[in-house]
Amino acid sequence: MRVTPYYQPRRIRTLLVANRGEIAVRIIRAARELGMRTVAVYSDADRDALAVQLADSAVHIGPAHATRSYLDIGAVLAAARDSGADAIHPGYGFLAENAGFAQAVADAGLIFVGPDAQTIRSMGDKAAARASAQAAGVPTVPGSEGVVASLDEALSHAAQIGYPLMIKAAAGGGGRGIRVAVDEAQLREAIPLAQAEARAAFGDDGVYLERYLPRARHIEVQVLGDGERAVHLFERECSLQRRRQKIFEEAPSPALSPARRQALCESALRLTESVGYRGAGTLEYLYDEANDAFYFIEMNTRIQVEHPITEAITGIDLVREMLRIADGEPLRLRQADIVMRGAAIECRLNAEDPARKFAPGPGTVAHVRWPAGPGVRIDSMVYAGSVVPPYYDSLLAKLIVWDEDRAGALARLARALDETRFEGVPSTLALHRALVADPGVAAGDYHTNYLETWMQQREADL
């Protein structure tokens, strides 16, 4: 049964979702609410995926391995052409920040739901994004002014920046292609390793240097723009990371004063508008709490995994808004109308076994029980009988809770985690149950290296 939509699409009648898993499900649901027909794509491993079941139609695009399916630009474009799609939403990961893909979509006469190829290219390149931030008057972490061309150049920059420092992939993301050097000897060793990692992960071995702030907090600002005007939707705290992968996020950050929050968000807005940004994006910062200073580090030119907590505290559906913008609508939101209310937390529940050093655990989900009640949301593609394949990210679900304040949200999260059950595959439920009971987390007193130390001390309990 189709419900009569409240929105009449202008240009996007049929949307192809060039992704899989929970984000594909999320986009399909938002698009259908806007009256758009949806097309899922799937690999051999995802024939029975929830996104395939929910979409109006589905197109097979190749074998299980992502390089021959979800990363195959030709196969995705052929699926769009054959299904009569007007637009493509890339989700996150895979081709979401691939400027060549965005350009190929435009060249095929289709709408890319996101910024144009030039914006992805300029803001997706971390070194170029630093230059754009500096031009907009946004502070950046002390570092090289671009990609370092040689080891000698890196050593010269390092002498000026000071140790410890980070070697980061210019085309990177997701915590990959990053190395830390505490002295010249480690830098000499780390540069070629970081270049090799960057080349393997992104097809680009460019790296740049940044001062390493070991006790910094990772805070990001959500923005929406229509190419002419932009708004921010406040910030998210993402400092609880394992191997530089976010696993627990909250909004707003417990570390920021109202004045510092305003300064941070205004800097993000300034940079967003300076590049004529169109769509949903996230500007990531390091916050040096000891000195009350923040530094821009990169921009993600796509929807983020953790976007639901921003939706929870603002009441704004980010995926629907980015679809409206792609459909040709000017930005509907005014900054004065965006109000932050309450606190929200997201846990990423992965099919990993903490007792086996977080080894992935693909398999068939025999049984699942989701939590419910006020302020509880589950974003997932998992159902009893669904298969978690070994070829992709191990994310099973995102558990999101909201309450009137942070203490209430933590209590609600503890209750929701206790209600959640997975059978047939391992999960990181135990990790999150322990985290939510940790005094440091409860006090909001943590940083980007907190979780690694915390896990070493509690390895036997996870």
Active site residues per annotation:
302
Give Cα 313 distance to the centre of its chain: 18
- Asked if residues 342 and 245 have their Cβ atoms less than 8 Å apart, the reply is no
d(CA 66, CA 131): 33
d(CA 213, CA 388): 37
d(CA 146, CA 153): 11
E strand or H helix at 59, and its extent? strand 57-62
**In angstroms, what CA-CA distances link 347 with 215, 270, 380?**
22, 30, 12
Q: Token pair of 180, please?
A: 């830390």
**In angstroms, what CA-CA distances link 449 with 238, 292, 445?**
11, 18, 12
Phi, psi at 60, each rounded to 5°: -75, 130
E strand or H helix at 242, and its extent? strand 230-242
- Asked if residues 219 and 253 have their Cβ atoms less than 8 Å apart, the reply is yes
d(CA 96, CA 155): 34
